[in-house]
Amino acid sequence: MKMFRKGLKGVVAVETKVASVDGEKGRLTYRGYDVGELTKTLTFEEAAFLLWYGELPTDREVKKCIQKIKDNRALSPLQWEVLQALPRDMSLMDVIRTLISLEGDQTYSGPPTVEQAIKLTAVIPTIIAHRTRLLANKDVVHPELQLSHVENYLYMLTGKKPLIAHVQALETYMILTMEHGMNASTFAARVTASTESDIVSSIVTAIGTMKGPLHGGAPTGVIALLEELKVSNDRKKTIKHKILSGEKLMGFGHRVYKTVDPRAEALKEKLLSMQVEDSWLHFAIEVEKEVVTILAELKPDRKLYTNVEFYATAIMRALSMDPTLFTPTFTAARMVGWTAHILEQAEDNVIFRPQSTYVGSEK
């Protein structure tokens, strides 16, 4: 008999050494290391090295990795030409997908390599920052080789050297969202990679999947929720009405986690440690307490808690980042996880070919 699971829920399609997501215990590990602990000790580059190579780097190894990232930040002449020619109403995710496609030359033929993964990871922030400044009719800010990956991203967006607290907050978010098991975009990337297509094609597949509002677009929904609650005369009444009417509360609940999302907890801890007064942050914390309490009261069997998108929104707002940058920034972080999975798929490849059950009529 063929077993059918809608959305492949609960079906194991891959054995992986990249990461583990334990939804029952609320635990996420990269290569066996608890991700909450990693954010306290590792930089973005060190965490990326761990996912790509499978082990923590030595000082010498991480310096080489950092240098390779810095060397690959600039757009190619063709990418720069196309970027300027793209329609202004084209979404940022579509722009990223298009410019990454232009990477697909002969240097990406053959089996995927870590060097290719580094190059793709390095160029994403530049694409995002250059497009953002062009749309704002500002001069583009070229990559600064003396800055770290995350620090350089913020610098290219604003033209100013960012505050250390802001760099640390965004770096925490980007490490936490680098990888998350067999999510939709990672699975899509591995499916493409399983055909022995090139790494650029696999990444373009992932970017197209990330663009969907049920995956990478969730933080935008959190903003809409918080803004509505901010002007509500009775927050608790509004929250209860939404829950009882069956409306989905963006930023709460997760398909995998049946307890607290460990990434949300790590982000919340980082935000609370930032020595800055941020009214938006304090409001988000108040809303979290109210929603979790009401959810426990009205839906005691659902186990719905804050997910990573909720505090990701607080991070972005604290950094004064436009909502259009949320999913692209998520993409810049997840590039590491996608490429780590593509590399792993190539090590022991079997093409994905699930079956389907015909439910139409017989003629």
Please give the positions annotated as active site. Answer: 254, 309
What are the φ/ψ torsions at residue 24 (nearest 5 degrees)?
Answer: -70, -40
Residue with tokens 């899509």: 188
CA distance 184 to 214: 10
**pLDDT tens profile 89-110:** 999 999 999 999 998 777 888 8
Residue scoring higher pLDDT (71 or 5): 71
Nearest residue to 216 (alpha-carbon basis) of 324, 144, 305, 115: 324
CA distance 70 to 68: 5
pLDDT, mean of residues 25-33: 93
Give yes or no for a contact between 308 and 266, defined as CB atoms under 8 angstroms apart.
no
**pLDDT tens profile 213-257:** 888 766 667 888 888 998 898 999 999 999 999 888 888 877 777
CA distance 31 to 20: 8
Residue type, 243: I
> Check: CATH 1.10.580.10 for 32-214+324-347?
yes
Q: What is the reported pTM?
A: 0.91
* CATH 1.10.230.10 in the chain, residue ranges: 218-318
**pLDDT tens profile 178-203:** 999 999 999 999 999 999 999 999 99
**Residue 77 backbone class (left: φ over 0; alpha: ψ -120 to 50; beta: rest):** alpha
* CATH 1.10.580.10 in the chain, residue ranges: 32-214+324-347
Residue type, 306: T
Q: CATH says 218-318 is which class?
A: mainly alpha
User: How many percent of the chain have pLDDT more than 90?
Assistant: 64
